[in-house]
Structure 1
Amino acid sequence: MVSLLHTLRDHTDEVRCCAFSPSLLATGSGDKSLRVYSTDAGFTERPFSPLTAHAYGVHCCCFSSCGGFLLSCSTDGLALLWNSGSGELLATLEHPSRSPLRVCALSPDSSRLLAGACDGTAAQWDFRSRKLCRVVSEASVVACCFSPCGQMFVSGCTNGDLKLWDLQASLLDAQKDAHDLGVTCCTFASQFLIGGLEFRLASCGQDSCVKIWMVSQDERAAWTVKLLHSLGAQSAPVLSCAFSPDGGLLVSGSVDKSVTIYDADLKGSLSAFFVFAHTLHTPPPACRYVTAVAVSPHQDMIATGSMDRSVNVWRIGGELAPASAISHPDEDEAHSKLPVHSRLLLTDWTEGDVQKWLCEEGLEKLVDVFKANNIDGEELSRLSKDTVTELGIESVGLRGRLMRRINALKAEQNDSEVPDHFLCPITRELMKDPVIAADGFSYERESIESWIQGKNKTSPMTNLPLQTTLLTPNRSLKMAITHWKSDH
């Protein structure tokens, strides 16, 4: 049984990460802030929150095992270490090339800090001395995690590779093309298996799959990574995944706006690794991608963050029913179970999808009319007060009810979702004065000028040197944004 416990709407930009400690929930956002809430006090925000030392959007955050420290990283190339009890900034760890950092991790004993950068390196610091070493990879590092023993870590890259390293930066094993189109997240289960010689690793990627790997030591004491399961329950790129502390559940969030919970209890047999999947749609269809998931240390709560700027906290209790869906509390009773077609754009609906929607809306009388006129999602989106009369619907009340339902459906699917190319890649805010830089990408003028005037003479997107600092106004994009704003 999974039920919505609380919804947090304090961030002003997309939520990119969330993490639990025994008593706190931390969330990070493109609005450059971290927010910290007390889990045992109705999710009230701590007095020192928000934490605002990052100059650009926060990509990742995590707590130490004891919960006393909070680590965060950002596009600004900094990994910041905080006292999670007071909000005091304890350390500022700068990537050697100030490359944007996408992911960070703390070792189980908090002796090491790790951050993955866009220039293809994983920067590792000793907690006490702050000594830095660099691990070179083949592409932008977007995922990393320490093994439960703390003596190894895994990095995942945009080219799709997973690599296993020891703390001395020696490559132990590599899985080429582990995820087609790129890895997005990876995480270890915290349990040791078979005398501490085996660990379970989960990874997810742009290929819409969650993959389970066994990291083990063979008779020659060499470490290997072997694929156990490839799970395709979600229909779009999977952006995040997390094991429960006991390893019994695995949670993943996807671009298809869903969260999937897997029963990951081994029960002594690899064949029983995944027993069932429980899918819940955390935001309603009008909302955006699920970008972050986390499971509380007490295993009774799940947090999910979304591009709609909200964080939902869910209560886990009892047994999970397979393939059961729950809705956002603000939705009508008629939408409490979301069908597959409601996750598609209206223009992608088939005739069958349209007919199912009519039944769900209490418009069963119109099914035969729509079937006779071969109306699919594209045609439905074009219906207006004038054209709907051409369908031969005699009842004025029925025509009016149909148009109200169509308008509500369009509003749900459009909502205020800003096209991604209207957002500045640095700040993730709607651009007012877009300019084209030498790397070919468009940015908000103030943001890219600030980036260039600082220590960064490289592209925020590719990390390659900018051949010139000349900025060209993108008038066509500015006009498109202006038109979009007037329509919304």
Structure 2
Amino acid sequence: MVSLIRAIRDHTDEISCCAFSQSALVTGSADKTLRVYSTADFKEFPFSPLTGHGYGVHRCCFSSCGSYLLSCSTDGSIIVWSSETGELLSAVEHPGRSPLRVCALAPDSCLLLAGACDGTVALWDFPSKTLRRCAAASEASIVACSFSPCSQVFVTGCTHGDLKLWDDHISLLLAQKDAHDLGVTCCSFAPHFKIEDSCVELRLASCGQDSLLKIWIVSQREGTAWTMMLLHILTGQTAPVLSCAFSADGELVVSGSVDKSVTVYDANLGTLLHILKQHDRYVTAVALSPAFGLMATGSMDRSVNVWKIGDGYEETEAESQQAPCQGRKLPGHSRLLLADWTEEDVQSWLCEEGLDELVMIFKTNNIDGSEVNHMSKETVAELGIESVGLRGRLLRKIEALKAEQSGSEAPDEFLCPITRELMKDPVIAADGYSYERESIESWIRGKNKTSPMTNLPLRTTLLTPNRSLKMAITRWKSSQ
């Protein structure tokens, strides 16, 4: 049993990552911020949001003790935050200032790892924040990494599709070529390992652009080399799989996909248990809590959904208020205009806004988004809603929704892909994408000769003014 208990929509851009500690949930976004919530009621902590990165946040994680929160970014830095106060404690930078796509902290909190767009991995001593080594791991961008539960080895995944196992000196132990032939997107070790007859056995999940989720057995018998054996190929999703994670007990593995779905599998048997379709766009991040049977999923639709899995989480007041909406899409902040909402969308929005008692009235009268869009005091009274206060609440919610949807948020194509800010001087780069001139020039000056969007080499650093886009932005600004 998996049920939706909360939908969070505080970020202003797509969600890139999420992670749990024992008492907190953190979410990271292309809007350059991290937001931190209590797992008791999913209210945002007073110190949230956290701002410190110059570009979008790619990955976030907690230390095993929960005291530290880490995040990495296109700006080439990893920031260490206090998870209790939100204070920025320290920061480390990639030696070559290459954009960082992924970071991980060893379970024993001794080593900090980062994977970069230039194909290198950097390893720091976490207590002292001193760089131990930075070494080439691939000719392609490193987009995935994970420490083993014993903290002694780690795995990396790249956009060429290879998985590689390394020791804590960045010495290669094992290479699995073309593990995902169109590119790896994420990898994650299960939190437990077995030792039998002098053999260490680990479980690893990986996913990729080939639309597959794979589970591997990574093992080493004393005195022999490491081996990697494919255990399961999971095919429950129909488009590239962008994220994967194990549950705290290693019994479940979940994944998020470009097909907008989240899948939950039995990690031992490889059987599909649930397919969840509550997001409006690509599911970019999944995370499971260490103890409470909670799962978080993040999406390009800018929302984070929090789920209850099984009986491992006691119902909170927040959950009981959301209960009538379980299993439905919550479209209140989706990109659909109100006039285009279906009857089911309207009913789910009522639940989201705490107007559950009106669901049956709206259902009986077949009210869709167009009807809501034209509601007035008179039409609301005709519905037979006796409570004057309830009628007033409904009208205020509708007005707030209409105001939100008619707001001045810039179209996505007017935002620079690097900074996610409205462009003033858009230029076209060799990859065909448009960027703010200052941002892409800074990117190139930082020895990044690859596309910020595709990670492929730029054939030339020549930039061409995009005059038509600049005119469109000017027209849009004058209309606001």
TM-score range, shorter chain: 0.7 to 0.9
Q: Deviations over 1:252-293 (max 9, x none)?
A: 0001000001122x3xxxxxx22333101122xxx2111100
Mapped partners of 1:485, 1:178: distance in 2:
47
Secondary structure at the counterpart of residue 260 of structure 1:
strand
Matched residue, 2:277: 281
* Native 8 Å contact 2:263 2:272 kept in 1: no
Structure 1 window deviating more from structure 2 (416-425 vs 24-33): it is: 416-425
Mapped partners of 1:477, 1:258: distance in 2:
33
* Native 8 Å contact 1:280 1:327 kept in 2: no
* Native 8 Å contact 1:161 1:183 kept in 2: yes
Matched residue, 1:309: 302
Secondary structure at the counterpart of residue 440 of structure 2:
helix
The answer to whether structure 1 residue 427 and structure 2 residue 428 are counterparts is no
Question: Relative to structure 1, is the Cα distance of residues 418 and 291 closer, same or farther in structure 2, using a 3 angstrom cutoff?
Answer: farther
Secondary structure at the counterpart of residue 50 of structure 2:
coil
Mapped partners of 1:231, 1:247: distance in 2:
16
The answer to whether structure 1 residue 198 and structure 2 residue 201 are counterparts is yes
Q: 1:226 is matched by which residue type in structure 2?
A: M
Matched residue, 1:121: 120
Q: CA deviation at 1:243?
A: 0.4
Secondary structure at the counterpart of residue 44 of structure 1:
coil
Q: CA deviation at 1:329?
A: 4.0
Matched residue, 1:353: none
The correspondence of residues 25-424 of structure 1 with structure 2, limited to 5 A, is: 25-40=25-40, 42-129=41-128, 130-136=130-136, 137-195=138-196, 197-218=200-221, 220-264=223-267, 266=268, 273-283=269-279, 287-318=280-311, 326-330=327-331, 423-424=415-416
Q: CA deviation at 1:226?
A: 1.3
Mapped partners of 1:246, 1:190: distance in 2:
7
Aligned residues: 397
Question: Relative to structure 1, is the Cα distance of residues 418 and 197 closer, same or farther in structure 2, using a 3 angstrom cutoff?
Answer: farther
Q: CA deviation at 1:28?
A: 0.4
Question: Relative to structure 1, is the Cα distance of residues 251 and 432 closer, same or farther in structure 2, using a 3 angstrom cutoff?
Answer: farther
Question: Relative to structure 1, is the Cα distance of residues 53 and 222 closer, same or farther in structure 2, using a 3 angstrom cutoff?
Answer: same
Q: CA deviation at 1:218?
A: 3.4
Mapped partners of 1:275, 1:253: distance in 2:
16
* Native 8 Å contact 1:33 1:54 kept in 2: yes
Question: Relative to structure 1, is the Cα distance of residues 192 and 236 closer, same or farther in structure 2, using a 3 angstrom cutoff?
Answer: same
Question: Relative to structure 1, is the Cα distance of residues 224 and 3 closer, same or farther in structure 2, using a 3 angstrom cutoff?
Answer: same
Query: Cα RMSD between the aligned structures?
Result: 3.3
Structure 1 window deviating more from structure 2 (9-18 vs 88-97): it is: 88-97
Q: CA deviation at 1:3?
A: 1.6
Q: Deviations over 1:225-264 (max 9, x none)?
A: 1111111100110100110110011110001000001122
Q: CA deviation at 1:447?
A: 2.6
* Native 8 Å contact 1:119 1:463 kept in 2: no
Question: Relative to structure 1, is the Cα distance of residues 299 and 54 closer, same or farther in structure 2, using a 3 angstrom cutoff?
Answer: same
* Native 8 Å contact 2:160 2:182 kept in 1: yes
Gaps of 5+ in 1: 267-272, 320-324, 337-360, 362-414
Structure 1 window deviating more from structure 2 (26-35 vs 130-139): it is: 130-139
Q: What is the percent sequence identity of the aligned residues? A: 66
Q: 1:229 is matched by which residue type in structure 2?
A: H
* Native 8 Å contact 1:257 1:281 kept in 2: yes
Mapped partners of 1:15, 1:486: distance in 2:
30
Mapped partners of 1:235, 1:89: distance in 2:
40
Q: 1:190 is matched by which residue type in structure 2?
A: P
Q: 1:313 is matched by which residue type in structure 2?
A: V
TM (normalized to structure 2)? 0.75
Q: CA deviation at 1:135?
A: 3.0
